[in-house]
Amino acid sequence: MVKFVCLLFLYLWSYVASAQTDIYRLGPGDILRITVYQEEDLSFVGQISQQGFIDFPLLGNIKLVGHSQREAKTSIEALLGESYLVEPSVSVLVTTYRPFFIYGEVRTPGSYAYQPDITIEQVIALSGGLKDRASSSHWTVQRGLKKKEFTAVSETIVHPGDVIKIHKSFF
C-alpha cells in the first residue's frame, strides 16, 4: 500500500509539474537532480556537459540537451528498463538553471544566475544600467539551441541561456 501511495504521489507530482517542465528545454550547464525510486545508488546530482551529456550511473553518458524534463525522465526510464530495472520510476528536477549573458552597452557585462520571470529591464539594472552611448530600445536576444535572434523590449522575459546584446545608440 505504501509503495502504491508513493508511486501515485510521484505520478501526480510529475503530472502537475509537467505544465511547466515541457516548456523548458535542458541545455549545457543545467544542474539536475535525478532520482530513481527505491534505487539510492542510481540517484544523483549532475551537470549537463557542454556537449549535452550527463554521466549516469550504470548507463554512462546520456544525451539530454534539448529534452524537456518529461522527455529526459521517459528516456532514462526506458534505458534503465531495458537492462537493469523492472518498471523504473525516475524524477528529473532542474536544481540550477544555466546562466544568461548580457553584453554590449551595459556597465557590468557578463553571465548572471537565472531568476524566474526576470525581464530585460531588470537584467539591465542587474548589470549596472546602460552606458551613456547605449540605445534605449535596440536590444537583441539570442535564444535556444539554434540561437534564434529577435528584438526585445523592456518587458521581454529572459530565459536560461539567453544572450542579450545592448546596442549603441546612433545619436
136-145, long-range: CB within 8 Å, 24+ apart, which pairs?
A: 136/169, 138/166, 138/167, 138/169, 139/164, 139/165, 139/166, 139/167, 140/164, 140/165, 140/167, 141/165, 144/25, 145/25, 145/27, 145/65, 145/66
What pLDDT score was predicted for residue 57?
86
**What residue ranges of the chain are covered by domains with CATH 3.10.560.10?**
100-168
pLDDT tens across the length of the chain (171 residues): 544 444 444 444 444 443 443 478 999 999 999 999 999 989 999 999 999 999 998 899 999 999 999 999 999 999 999 988 899 999 999 999 999 999 999 999 999 999 989 999 999 999 999 999 999 888 999 998 788 999 999 999 999 999 999 999 876
CATH dotted code for 2-96: 3.30.1950.10
What pLDDT score was predicted for residue 170?
76
What pLDDT score was predicted for residue 58?
86
What pLDDT score was predicted for residue 121?
95
What pLDDT score was predicted for residue 171?
66
pTM of the model: 0.74
Q: Cell 535542458 maps to which residue?
A: 26
What pLDDT score was predicted for residue 9?
45
- Report the distance separating Cα 167 and Cα 105, nearest Å: 6
Q: Please, what CATH class does the domain formed by 100-168 belong to?
A: alpha beta
Q: Which three cell numbers stand for residue 147?
A: 540561437
**What residue ranges of the chain are covered by domains with CATH 3.30.1950.10?**
2-96
